[in-house]
Amino acid sequence: MTARIDEVASDVYRISLYVPDFDLQFNHFLVKDDEPLLFHTGMRGMFPMVRDAVSTLIDPTDIRWISWSHFEVDECGALNEWLSIAPGATPVCGELGAMINIADFSNRPPRGLGRDAVLETGRHRFRFIPTPHLPHGWDAGVLFEETDRVLLCSDLLHQLGNVEPSTTADVVGRYQHALATYQASPVLMEYVPYTENTKRQLATLAALQPRTLAAMHGSTYVGDGAAALIASGEVIRQVTAAAANVSSGAHGG
Ligand SMILES: [Fe+2]
Ligand SMILES: [Fe+2]
């Protein structure tokens, strides 16, 4: 497995590993700046490959910030491996995640961000927006790069397949396909909960008017990010509602 590296926004490098067994890409984003930022550590098993890919862009020991959305192995599983090679690196995530998970999990104390707190890395400024249970996880949140309007959106707009690094195509349709596919699986079902907060939280993200949606799984979307985020809320609702109809039909019939 070899990582593919593409610059998907100014200074934002997408390091992608495709896993055929899952028909899924795992994307890690390195932001080159005065204080380099890695968003998504990747799993421990992928660490050597992601580290080698980062090494072609910067000296990985220079990484200053390590961030992610929510506590899960593809998001932050290799955090301590990165901390062991980058002596100046600090984990940075939402204050809730820092308190409930990372203060114990991490070998180095984290920096916790409150709502709308800004992390400056040099040319780039990253605003933290908590999104509890979107896409999933109490501690979930996203980082929004304000200079170039790049949303590091984690599992939102998740797409299956070994797709192109960057696209202007219909990622909402691909997202619908991915959610419906997972919903049909007895193991992967209920991937993204739909709640009364889902569309409100997506509207908050849409109000940022992102031009680029850097998805963890699938292509980075370039275009009207607000419209894609709003449309994704209806996709989550419909996939959830269809599943509820199937299960109530099964029990009632
Ligand atoms: Fe996740
Ligand atoms: Fe993920």
Distance 190 CA to ligand 2 centre (A): 14
Distance 36 CA to ligand 1 centre (A): 23
Of 4, 3, 77, 7, which is closest to residue 222 (Cα–Cα)? 7
The confidence score (pLDDT) of residue 239 equals 96
Distance 125 CA to ligand 1 centre (A): 24
CA distances from 232 to 13, 56, 101, 120, 148 (A): 24, 35, 28, 29, 22
Distance 156 CA to ligand 1 centre (A): 9
The confidence score (pLDDT) of residue 248 equals 79
Cα–Cα distance, 155 to 192 (Å, whole number) = 9
Distance 200 CA to ligand 1 centre (A): 20
Ligand with minimal distance to 26 CA: 2
Cα–Cα distance, 30 to 52 (Å, whole number) = 12
**Which residues are CB-neighbours of 192 under 8 A, at least 6 positions away?**
134, 135, 136, 155, 179, 236, 239, 240
Is the pTM higher than 0.95? The answer reads: yes
Distance 73 CA to ligand 2 centre (A): 8
- Tens digit of pLDDT at every position of the chain (253 positions): 889 999 999 999 999 999 999 999 999 999 999 999 999 999 999 999 999 999 999 999 999 999 999 999 999 999 999 999 999 999 999 999 999 999 999 999 999 999 999 999 999 999 999 999 999 999 999 999 999 999 999 999 999 999 999 999 999 999 999 999 999 999 999 999 999 999 999 999 999 999 999 999 999 999 999 999 999 999 999 999 998 888 777 554 4
**Which residues are CB-neighbours of 240 under 8 A, at least 6 positions away?**
183, 192, 193, 194
Distance 252 CA to ligand 1 centre (A): 32
Of 206, 200, 181, 199, which is closest to residue 191 (Cα–Cα)? 181
The confidence score (pLDDT) of residue 252 equals 47
Distance 248 CA to ligand 1 centre (A): 27
Single-letter code of the amino acid located at 100: I
Cα–Cα distance, 150 to 138 (Å, whole number) = 23
The confidence score (pLDDT) of residue 243 equals 86
The confidence score (pLDDT) of residue 253 equals 46
Residue 126: what are its φ and ψ, rounded to 5°?
-115, 120
Cα–Cα distance, 59 to 2 (Å, whole number) = 19
Ligand with minimal distance to 191 CA: 1
Distance 74 CA to ligand 2 centre (A): 6
Cα–Cα distance, 226 to 191 (Å, whole number) = 22
Question: In the chain, what is the straight-line distance between the N-terminal and C-terminal CA atoms, in Å?
Answer: 47
